[in-house]
Amino acid sequence: MPYLKSAILVVALLGLSQWSQAGEQTAEQLYQRSLAATCANCHGTDGKGLVNGSIPQINQLSSGEILAQLLAYKSGARAGTIMPQLAKGYTDEQLTTIAEQLGKKP
């Protein structure tokens, strides 16, 4: 009986440690998500933008479509108010990461 409390404690701690590890993300995953999270400031956490169209809906676009638009903003091929300046602040690799994070999954 004196070992029962110890055994229960050990089992509980092992279970908690396994549970906490399941939700852990690598530094790279957190970095990738943080890049894409900046888009929520304007487009919203759901990617719906604004109904009046001043901030476009992006939640129905594929990764390829998003990347094409981001690169067009960066190169100046597409005009905009804020997006050209924002896109120029990222490398092409970072823009690819953002597009992959935000793109509609099949």
Residue 45 and residue 38: Cα distance in Å, rounded?
10
DSSP 3-state of 51: coil
Residue 89 has pLDDT above 50, yes or no: yes
* pLDDT the model gives residue 5: 56
Residue 54 has pLDDT above 60, yes or no: yes
Burial of 37 (0-12, 13-18, 19+ CB in 10 A): middle
Residue 92 and residue 3: Cα distance in Å, rounded?
59
Residue 42 and residue 2: Cα distance in Å, rounded?
59
Q: What are phi and psi of 52, to 5 degrees?
A: -75, -5
pLDDT digits (tens, 9 = 90+) for 1-23: 556 555 555 555 555 444 455 57
Give me the domains of the chain, ranges plus CATH numbers.
Answer: 26-102 (1.10.760.10)
* pLDDT the model gives residue 74: 98
Q: Are 55 and 42 in contact (CB under 8 A)?
A: yes
Give me the mean pLDDT over the 59-77 stretch. Answer: 97
Burial of 21 (0-12, 13-18, 19+ CB in 10 A): exposed
